[in-house]
Amino acid sequence: MGSEMKLIHVTGLMMTVGLMLGGFGCATEREGDEGNESKLAAEAKVSRADAEKTALARVPGGTIKEGGIEKEKGKLIWSFDIATPGTKDITEVQVDALTGGIVAVDKETAADEAKEKRNAKVKEDDEKDEKK
């Protein structure tokens, strides 16, 4: 009976350690994403503040809901989702992080925005499953 208890104890300990390591892996993954954004921001010649001013000039009276830097189609860009008073639509404005020029301006309805967030969640879940 003593060896069974040791086996149960060791198995429980191994499961606990495994769960802890898995949790640390997730935290590191999130920190890695932030670190990647910091690296991209360091490459930018246009500051986030300047890019925000440029984006807001394209959407008078707008408010930035989300924003960040990313590489899209090989181009380093600041991307901002801007809400406009009186509408639920979002205007996405992309600013070239090297030149400060406008790359793209796209209007998204509330339905488009919800669909985009669902697709991003599915993609994120798929990436997590692939890493397991």
Range of the domain at 17: 1-43
Residue 29 has pLDDT above 50, yes or no: no
pTM score: 0.62
Q: What is the dihedral sign for C-alpha 116, 122, 125, 126?
A: negative
Question: Could you give the number of structural domains in the chain?
Answer: 2
CATH code for the domain of 129: 3.10.450.40
Q: pLDDT value at position 3?
A: 57
Q: How far is Cα 32 from Cα 66, in angstroms, rounded to an integer?
A: 19
50 and 5 belong to one structural domain: no
**40-95 tens-digit pLDDT:** 999 999 999 999 999 999 999 999 999 999 999 999 999 999 999 898 899 999 99
Same domain, 76 and 118: yes
